[in-house]
Structure 1
Amino acid sequence: MAPESRPQPLSADRAAAAAAGGGGIARHADRNSLSPRAIADRQMNFDTLLRRHEAERPHAVGLIDGDQPVRYAELQSEVHRVAGLLHAQGARPGDRLALWLPNCAAWLVTFMACARLGVTVVAMNTRFRSHEVGDLISRSQAKWLVMWPAFKGLPFQQILSDVAPDRLQSLRGVMIVGAWEGKPAVDGVATFAFTRAGDASALDGVPQAAGDSYALVYTTSGTTTQPKLVVHDQETLIRHGEAVARHFGIGEGDAVLLGAPFCGAFGFSSALGALAAGVPMVTSPVIDPDECARQIVRHEITHTFANNELLDRILDAADAAGLPLASLRIAGFASFAPSLEGLPERSEKAGITLVGLYGSSELQALVAGQPAAASLEQRQQPGGTLVADDARVRARDVASGEVLPHGEVGELEIKSPSLMRGYLDNPEATAQAVDDGGYFRTGDLGHTVSEREFVFHARRGDFLRLSGFLVNPREIEAFIEALEGVASCQVVGAVKDGKSVPVAFVIPELGEALREEEIIGSCSAQLARFKVPVRVGVVDAFPVVESANSNKIQRSRLGELAQALLGGTP
């Protein structure tokens, strides 16, 4: 919907819904008897799903953007307006559009408009800086960019201006959300407003994109310095949303608070569960714990999915304001902050059922979750039961390659209908990640309990979990090694104030004197804030472990040194 055009307050929406018999978001007593419509058609797409909701419950609320409700009828109208606008500008099936917005109605409208046309959305994190923005637009060959230059004073236009022109050569148009001075966002590239009126006949004769058309691309850490681009089609996303809704008991009368950005698998998979079930998703451009606590009470939130740090801070905010979170039944969580082991017990005392989750960009977040009826001890473990009935999991011995019996720890391999279509424009990487039987090699260690249940133990390798995002340290290392005077770099994780943070160690080139603050400053100007090292240690050499074949860098020792730089014990 256009930012200048808002529906009436939620109370009016509820009244209209009740009067029209459209369902609204009224509460129902028999939750166990309610389930979302089964979605089995291989050609199911987002336009069909949205039309179905609009036809069955036009006055019902599909999205609450901040505190502004958006009804399905309005959402449908806005999606078709923006689809017509993009088509009139020249967007065609197979094009790619970089979506650089925070959580808001415009994000969802643009995504669905692209799905209507068969345009693939490349989700771009609002924390990205010039290095990452240029890399993602260039590698995805995005023809279109959608951005909100005036959002919260963040320098989106300046970031875009700092991108090397050769990285933006694929762009044909930039669509601006919010206030705009009328100047081109990129020299020589058409720029137009999201709010521009669309031609009612623009979509006449334009075929609806099929369910197997590419819909969304996530970025994920890979084995190289560049994040891989994971692509999913429409039907796969919708089917996963239906499985999420069924597994976590999301049905008519419920509401889901989104505790993560749309641009990542965690946030978007949560949205899919609400969307497939036809219940309101509640979100804000800035995810603030105090506001989240108020939204839970104000909108009678029944489900949320977030990292453990945010959930802990929501509980703090509710305690401080005296807000009872009585409506919240299920809170799915991922352990991003290592110092919050007591959160499950704390949630239990608040009457909230906390369940551990598992997921990835390739398989979708929430691909597995602990059962709500399980014991507290089991529910706080990451992993759980695969949400799709026909999904399967196995563990393979890392050394022998043999599939292990239940209970023995190995690399987890998962076969699920939520699996990606592949890595965008990278069939070689796709073939390495997925075997001939359709099992995805997760790179995670764990043990299976049954063919659909497992417990996650740890990530193979040295990936870092920073602010909820999985980051390959090699990406940060490669950037620092490109700085003047740096011969080599290693980045490891440490714990500061209960959070995992990156710490870098650098070896200077001969005769060079490196300064910690200059390296951190360069990273701050070019990388997302969560990737910027909080400390940089200058060393003559990295600690190594000698072997017959090579000298392997002792990353565990670097981790100890990193913790010492931060003041010792986490």
Structure 2
Amino acid sequence: MEMVGAIPDNFPALVDRASREFGSTEAISDGDVSLDFAELGQQIREAAGALVASGVKRGDRVAVWAPNSWEWVVAAMAVFRVGAVLVPVNTRFKGREAAFVLKKANVKLLFTVVGFLGNDYVSDLRDSGEKVDSIDDIVVLRGDVLEGTVSFQDFLNRNTDGDFEEAESRAAAVSGSDLGLIMFTSGTTGVPKGVMVEQGPIIRGFSHYARELGMRQGDRMLIVNPFFHAFGFNGAINPCFIHGATMLPHPIFDVPSVLQRIQDEQVTVFPGPPAIFQGLINYKNLADYDTSSLRSAVTGAASIPVETVVDMRERLGFDTVVTAYGMTETHGLVTICAADDPPDVVANTSGKALPGIELKLLDDDNQEVEQGEPGELLVKGYAVMRGYLDEPEQTAETIDEDGWMRTGDICVMDAQGYIDITDRKKDMFINGGFNTYPAEIESTMLEHPAVGQVSVIGVPDERLGEVGAAFVVPAPTGPPDLEELAVWCKKEMANYKVPRYFWLIDELPLNPSNKVLKTELRDRASALLS
């Protein structure tokens, strides 16, 4: 086994190490484009020079709003090189939602796409009616170059020798404790919050995860998890640079195309939420594809049946299946199973804390619970975020003065320290791996003229884990047409937020402090669905 240099604590040094140690190993394969680690490193360095030429300074915010692609990786890693901060934007966002994020983060330059997979984010933004004054430049990574934007190639051509040298000297000054990314997570208050995370903790936590997956040079990782998400950037791009594994970005999950890609590209490592693996296992033509190259999988972000873990090993051919738990606020990772944990442990727990991270469970009176009793999970250690961007009150509500961070997740812990997440303290539900916040959906739906009041809950769904159900109190002018309301929601919000079910209700059940009794709505929903 050849010795590879120590893992650095920041992304510019990680890219340089990969170029040096894994130079001729394929780094990324995307359609007709294949780059080895030396070529990818060079592309990133040139893009960094172009950022300097474009006036991006240390600490400036640069956004990437695009599906998974080789250009995403180049743009993102170039941002870190010049000492700037990366703001990934959810590809499912509509123009109005993206504008909020771009304004809040004060983004100076936006990398995006026009016409790739039918997306035209530039027009979405321009047609949203929101003006983002901070943006000086829009660079089109792929697709048609609209007026007032610049192509990726023309952007790269801005790089001069002087800019390149300036970028290189900035790269050398980056450290792991620098603010790395602002990742927006939808808030219970109904607007997304910018989670400030550093570079070092992402590399530290996910190098442990990559070891449990047994990742090694020459591995081939299929990346269906969106790059804008912690599971996609922190949990896929980052470990591939650490270990010299090939990134195989896959912009859209579609069962036959994923199975074909596994067979054609000899995929070995595949992270994803349970719904993705269940989709493959349940596919009627699974036997037509050769998935024997698969070796390691990590899943999480939703509960998973034991049968799924067993099927992943027996029917898809994985040797290693582990589950993990984390949130954007913890740099993406808190706990993980060990590679040799038995299927029932993998299915029924989310593993135990990473080294260097402490956990405790508290009851409603802030007392630690007895072992095996449910309590809210609190996390302390290097994984805790810096805080929410420009939200000191929300940060203080989440992280106490001793550094303990409330996750809002209820779980039980066993004698070995393994946790099982049983409930969301907040009313968030997870739809196909996407955190979905009722408050955000409700505040949008209230803008509809026929909606008087609305309460949204998550209801179980076999394929996606949970989907939304909306209880609607009609406005005084009369009840909404529910089919029309569903169409309206699809226009106004990302598709995973759109409720699957809409029910009219005379009044919402309230508790004495006038909060909606969601437990009562859940009971009604299960009665209606049965």
State yes or no: 1:543 paired with 2:509: yes
Give the unaligned 5+ runs of structure 1.
1-32, 185-190
With structure 2 as the length reference, what TM-score do the two structures score?
0.91
Provide the rounded CA distance (Å) in 2 between the counterparts of 1:407 and 1:264: 32
Provide the rounded CA distance (Å) in 1 between the counterparts of 2:11 and 2:453: 47
State yes or no: 1:205 paired with 2:170: no
State yes or no: 1:494 paired with 2:459: yes
1:319 deviates by 5.0
State yes or no: 1:195 paired with 2:160: no
After superposition, where does 1:135-146 map in structure 2 within 5 Å?
A: 135-146=100-111
Cα 1:38–1:444 change in 2 (3 A) is: farther
Pairwise CA RMSD of aligned residues?
A: 2.5
Q: Match of 2:293?
A: 327
Provide the rounded CA distance (Å) in 2 between the counterparts of 1:236 and 1:203: 28
1:142 deviates by 1.2
Q: 2:242 aligns with which of 271, 276, 279?
A: 276
- Listed one character per residue, the Cα deviations across residues 277-317 of structure 1 (whole Å, up to 9, x for unaligned) are 22222222223332322333333333221111111223345
State yes or no: 1:125 paired with 2:90: yes
With structure 1 as the length reference, what TM-score do the two structures score?
0.85
Identity fraction in percent: 28
Provide the rounded CA distance (Å) in 1 between the counterparts of 2:187 and 2:124: 24
State yes or no: 1:468 paired with 2:433: yes
Provide the rounded CA distance (Å) in 1 between the counterparts of 2:279 and 2:515: 40
- SS of 2:183's equivalent in the other structure is strand
Bigger shift: residues 72-81 or 272-281 = 272-281
Bigger shift: residues 98-107 or 361-370 = 361-370
Provide the rounded CA distance (Å) in 2 between the counterparts of 1:222 and 1:497: 26
Q: 2:377 aligns with which of 412, 415, 421?
A: 412
Q: Match of 2:499?
A: 533
The answer to whether the Cα contact below 8 Å between 2:188 and 2:426 also exists between their aligned partners in 1 is no
State yes or no: 1:104 paired with 2:88: no
- SS of 1:313's equivalent in the other structure is helix
Cα 1:482–1:296 change in 2 (3 A) is: same
Equivalent residue letter for 1:74: E
The answer to whether the Cα contact below 8 Å between 2:12 and 2:174 also exists between their aligned partners in 1 is no
- SS of 1:215's equivalent in the other structure is strand
The answer to whether the Cα contact below 8 Å between 1:504 and 1:533 also exists between their aligned partners in 2 is yes
Equivalent residue letter for 1:180: D
Q: Match of 1:453?
A: 418
Cα 1:119–1:146 change in 2 (3 A) is: same
1:67 deviates by 6.6
Cα 1:362–1:290 change in 2 (3 A) is: same
Equivalent residue letter for 2:211: R
Provide the rounded CA distance (Å) in 1 between the counterparts of 2:182 and 2:476: 42
Q: 1:359 aligns with which of 326, 341, 356?
A: 326
Provide the rounded CA distance (Å) in 2 between the counterparts of 1:451 and 1:355: 16
Give the unaligned 5+ runs of structure 2.
none
- Listed one character per residue, the Cα deviations across residues 33-90 of structure 1 (whole Å, up to 9, x for unaligned) are 7997543x6xx32111111111222111222224743211111111122112222121
After superposition, where does 1:342-491 map in structure 2 within 5 Å?
A: 342-350=307-315, 351-352=317-318, 353-387=320-354, 389-396=355-362, 398-449=363-414, 453-491=418-456
Provide the rounded CA distance (Å) in 1 between the counterparts of 2:415 and 2:378: 13
- Listed one character per residue, the Cα deviations across residues 232-277 of structure 1 (whole Å, up to 9, x for unaligned) are 1222222223222223322234332223101111112221222222
- SS of 2:334's equivalent in the other structure is strand
Bigger shift: residues 73-82 or 473-482 = 73-82
Provide the rounded CA distance (Å) in 1 between the counterparts of 2:28 and 2:500: 37
Q: Match of 1:217?
A: 182
Equivalent residue letter for 1:408: E
Q: Match of 1:134?
A: 99
- SS of 1:420's equivalent in the other structure is coil
Cα 1:440–1:337 change in 2 (3 A) is: closer
The answer to whether the Cα contact below 8 Å between 2:12 and 2:77 also exists between their aligned partners in 1 is yes
- SS of 2:166's equivalent in the other structure is coil
State yes or no: 1:231 paired with 2:196: yes
Cα 1:91–1:176 change in 2 (3 A) is: same
Provide the rounded CA distance (Å) in 1 between the counterparts of 2:221 and 2:142: 26
Cα 1:335–1:141 change in 2 (3 A) is: closer
Provide the rounded CA distance (Å) in 1 between the counterparts of 2:282 and 2:470: 33
Q: Match of 1:307?
A: 273
- Listed one character per residue, the Cα deviations across residues 311-358 of structure 1 (whole Å, up to 9, x for unaligned) are 1223345953533322322221226487x6631221232342332221
Provide the rounded CA distance (Å) in 2 between the counterparts of 1:127 and 1:292: 20
- SS of 1:266's equivalent in the other structure is coil
Provide the rounded CA distance (Å) in 2 between the counterparts of 1:35 and 1:537: 61
